[in-house]
Amino acid sequence: MKKTTILSVLALSTFFAKAQTEKTTWFVGGALAFSSSTQKEADAPGSSAKATAFALSPSVGYFFINNLAAGASLNITSAYSANSNSGSTSSSTVTLFSAGPFVRYYFNTSQHVKLFLHGDASWGSEKVTLNYSGADESSSVPITTFEGKAGAAFFLSPGVALEFTAGYQSTTEKDSGIKLTTGSVVVGLGFQIYLGSANMLRSKNK
């Protein structure tokens, strides 16, 4: 009985390892980030600044051929900052929402670590709300983002991977006929869950 259980676990692990980046495999995941900061001036006791930011990027992908996947992702970011100076306060809230396709290619380096190249594009809007002495002023602008990056997926288990990425991102905003493009070097941390090949799952159940 014990020997049969061990063999079953080994067979299941081998099945998922082969299904990680095989054709017809699905994967879901993304990245989550949060930051908070407080700043105070030593020479100005009544002056302070606080800022918080939250970002969520869920995604889903599908392998159309071995090691090559395509899918879609969402990008949701919310940032808030507040300043206080000699009794007067001001704050700003930035909310960004965008979505778009991506393509990713994996290299079969080993069973537990796989390198990949990733490219994506997204379109959406950014809303900025400024508050000064109780009065709000809001504006919304369309944004377009293109990103290219390289990464490494470390498989913590046959079906779950922790990812480290580094790349370049270009974001363009259009406001009142003025186009502003910002280039950024981006380092990220995320995860993916590999659901396995539908064909292999059917064959295992027979």
| DSSP string computed for 60-98 | EEEEEETTEEEEEEEEEEEEEEEEEETTEEEEEEEEEEE
Looking at the structure of the chain, the number of domains it has is 1
Identity (one letter) of the amino acid at 102?
F
Q: Contact, 50 vs 81, CB < 8 A?
A: yes
Q: Contact, 126 vs 173, CB < 8 A?
A: yes
Write down the pLDDT at residue 134: 67
Residue 117 is part of a domain; what is its CATH number? 2.40.160.20
Q: Contact, 30 vs 188, CB < 8 A?
A: no
% of the chain residues with pLDDT over 70: 79
CA torsion sign for 63, 69, 72, 78 is: positive
> Over the stretch 88-132, which tens digit does the pLDDT of each residue have?
778 888 899 999 999 999 998 887 899 999 999 999 999 888 887
Residue 27 CA to residue 118 CA, distance in Å, equals: 14
Q: Which residue range(s) make up the domain with 48?
A: 2-205
Residue 158 CA to residue 67 CA, distance in Å, equals: 16
Task: Let me know if 36 is exposed, middle or buried by CB neighbors in 10 A (0-12, 13-18, 19+).
Answer: exposed
The residue ranges of the chain whose pLDDT is under 50 are 1-18, 198-206
